[in-house]
Structure 1
């Protein structure tokens, strides 16, 4: 391409249309034309951004690998028909003719891959220093570039929101396929086991009645009554539960019970340990102890089967409710709702990812309801919990706290994962910024969460991190007139490792 042809081609572009003769002379002198073969890569996702690229002829296809799948984000074309087809989503015509400005302005890496589409794609490359000099020398360039930049950020956010919705629905659908089968299987199993369990309960009741004194029966009755009133455990630690089950079973076997394993699992499932059981059985003599333990094991078995039958219906209702909430993302009207319900919904959706992770709930009793958009906040909880699960890699403790604090409702999601690098922490809410490997993150999840919390709900979201502890703190106003800014002295980082 001759100098005259390059000059004419550049002058015909909207971004350079207002340049003076001197500015155009300079632009031509620093231009580096390049012809790409069909499919040839101009730049790759994750590479350090080193240039601003102007399309003179042909086309470019911009793609990104997300969770192992290559997705087409947009296409740039110099052909009017192809360009018009891409403008249905409000894409400015000028956006077809240049790319690469966003990572240069944010001093980051390319956030997607661009490759030639067509046999004779011609681009002009401007290295990073030249691009910034261009903005200084040619003021008209910024007037065209800024609206395109705003559209690209907005378009990326919209795509990320759609992708997040689809991913949430996909996760929920996979969970539903598994979880909806569980209640039916539980009903069938419980029905099958109920008859022999009732026979066992009758037999152990007779044996216990024959072996026990009146005082011992009173001890057992108090134990059974206390078990009836026990609330479900607030902390679930699978390892501690397994240790407790084994300890109770070993002791029960030495005591002479027929089904020590059943007793161990029944007591440990309630979050109880051997010491608790020994204390409640004081007053039962050694000769009567085996009969007491056999009867207790049979009683716990019946109650467990009954609980499974009672839980089957609500479990299905909960899953259906979760599906309804997620299917209405971005369409739900403003309403009054309980934040803790949305968090529990999120745990249902992400149950498979949370396998092996201990969950601690610290919900302040009597929490007031919030006015806002519950489905959008579900996106926030899903993103924060999912990030925490990834950071812990299947082992650790997830702590969920909800409390009222003045005019705000405060939600804390804490994990015991690797932590966030100290130099990354101030940037985690920026669009397109990610610490994940290429293809494993869009860099928009936390940015979208930030927008939902701050713009849609007028709240705040902050992060604190050190090795072994990362806390995301969301503050939401309880009334529309309130404001929930983060405390000015709240730190954003304590120290760092790689997350």
Structure 2
């Protein structure tokens, strides 16, 4: 491309409209034209931002790898039809013609990958120092660039919310499916086995009635009533229970019962032994004993199946209720709610991921309720608890602490995982920033948590971390006290939530986020 052609092309762009002849001369002299082949990469996600790029011809597709899948964030095109197709979300027309300004302004890295779409895509690169000189030399550039920058920030927020909502729904669905599996399987198994169990109960009842005298029937009736009133054992010793089951089954088999194993398991599951059974069966003669034991075994089996159904039904109802409360279905978005209820519902939803992790609850009694958006805060709890579980890799201690502190509700979520690297801690709330491997993390969860806490609830969120202890501290204001929770003082060497001088080691690093909007730190290019 010759200099006159480049000059004509640049002067026809909205971002360079109104430049003087001298400004255009300078712009052409510092321009670095480049022609890209179809699919050729202009810059990659994670690379240091080195230049501002202006699109003269062709198109660019901007993508990001999310959870192993490459997703298209946006497209830039010089073709009117293609550009119009991308303006459904309010994308300014000028946004099609340049990219890369945001990471330059924030001194960061590219947050996505840009590649040519179609043959002979032509771009003009301006190195970082030239870009900043351009802003001072050519005042009209900033007038076009700033509205586009504002749109890109807003667009990244919308995309972040949508993606985080999908992730939250996926977590909810997976957790609910896992938790429903056990009670649903219990219901299916009990329902399948109940019919033959009732047939056995009927058959053994006839046989017992024919073999027993009136006094013997009274003995078994008293035994059945006593078994029905027995509470489940508070402490179970698996070895002792197995020994008792074997002893009862051996004795019952010698006595002539058909289902000795079922009788042994039924009695031992209640924490009882052979001696207890023999004492209650006194008065039943040897001829009628096999029929008595068969009927008792059938009775225990039927009652056990009924107990499984009684336990599984409410468990399913509890899970549905917890899911409803977690998602706040059929409720007004803003309401008065209990923070601890939201935490408990989150633990139910994430139970599968928390297997092997000890949960410690430290809830201050008689906590007041908050007014806000519980479904959005549940998304915060999900992000923080899920991150903690991943950091602990299946084993550790998760501590949930909730207390009132002046006019604020303070929620602390602490894990004993690997911790957050010191150099990453100040950036964990930035959009698209993640310490996970490429493709495994979106970098949106903590950013959305920050926005929900600070923007929607006028609170604050802070992170303190060292190996073996990561503590997330969320302060939420009670009604009418928003400013009081907006700022959190950071004391070096002190873990969040500890009193000064509590003895935290000086190796503790911290990141305190106030209500100042940091969402401009990175965004969709």
- TM-score range with shorter-chain normalisation? 0.7 to 0.9
SS at match of 1:235: coil
Partners of 1:376 and 1:318 lie apart in 2 by 21
Query: 1:276, 1:447 → 2: CA distance?
Result: 62
SS at match of 1:353: coil
Q: Deviations over 1:10-65 (max 9, x none)?
A: 11111111322222222111111111111111111122222111111111111111
| 497 and 429 in structure 1: CA distance in 2 versus 1, 3 angstrom threshold | closer
Q: CA separation of 1:469/1:224 partners in 2, compared to 1, >3 Å: closer, same or farther?
A: farther
Contact 1:466/1:496, CA 8 A, preserved across alignment = no
For residues 420-444 of structure 1, the C-alpha deviation after alignment (integer angstroms, 9 at most, x for no partner) is 1222222222233322222222323
Write the distance in 2 (CA, Å) between the matches of 1:280 and 1:364.
49
Does the 8 Å CA contact 2:334/2:373 hold for their aligned counterparts? yes
1:236-272 deviation digits (Å, cap 9, x = unpaired): 9999999999999999999999999999999999999
CA drift of 1:389 comes to 1.6
Taking a change above 3 Å as real, the CA distance of residues 425 and 288 of structure 1, as seen in their structure-2 partners, is farther
Task: Name the SS of the counterpart of 2:520 in structure 1.
Answer: coil
Cα distance change on mapping 1:140 and 1:189 into 2, 3 Å: same
* Pairs aligned (count): 495
Number of the residue aligned with 1:16: 16
Deviations 1:54-93 (A, max 9, x none): 1111111111110011111111111112111111111111
Following TM superposition, by how much is the alpha carbon of 1:132 offset from its aligned partner in structure 2, in angstroms?
A: 2.1
* Partner secondary structure for residue 87 of structure 2: helix
Pair 125,330 (structure 1): closer, same or farther in 2 beyond 3 Å: farther
Between stretches 113-122 and 198-207, larger displacement belongs to 198-207
Contact 2:153 2:524 in 1 (8 A): no
The structural deviation recorded for 1:364 is 2.1
CA separation of 1:199/1:360 partners in 2, compared to 1, >3 Å: closer, same or farther? farther
Shift of the alpha carbon at 1:284? 27
The alpha carbon displacement at 1:118 in A equals: 1.3
Matches of 1:69 and 1:136, distance apart in 2: 40
SS in 1 for 2:485: coil
- Find the structure with the greater CA-based Rg: 2
Who is 1:58 aligned against? 58
**Which whole-Å CA distance do the structure 1 matches of 2:135 and 2:428 have between them?**
27
Stretch moving more, 108-117 or 388-397: 388-397
Q: Deviations over 1:385-433 (max 9, x none)?
A: 1111221122221111122222211111111111112222222222333
User: Deviation digits for residues 318-348 of structure 1, max 9, x if unmatched?
Assistant: 4334544566699952101111122222223
Tell me the CA shift for residue 305 of structure 1. 7.8
* SS class of match (2:484): coil
Question: d(CA) in 2 for partners of 1:435 and 1:272?
Answer: 54
Contact 2:152 2:524 in 1 (8 A): no
3-state DSSP class of the match of 2:414?
Answer: strand
Distance 1:86 1:495, change over 3 A: closer
Does the 8 Å contact 1:169/1:326 carry over to 2?
A: no
Q: Show the counterpart of 2:166.
A: 166
SS of the residue corresponding to residue 86 of structure 2 reads helix
Runs of at least 5 residues in structure 2 that lack an aligned partner in the other structure? 487-497, 501-518
Asked if the contact 1:237/1:358 (under 8 Å) is kept, the reply is no
Which structure has more relative contact order (CA 8 Å, sep 6+)? It is: 2
Runs of 5+ unmatched residues, structure 1? none
**Alignment root-mean-square deviation, CA:** 7.6
The two structures have a TM-score, normalised by structure 2, of 0.71
Residues 474 and 61 of structure 1, relative CA distance in 2, 3 Å threshold: same
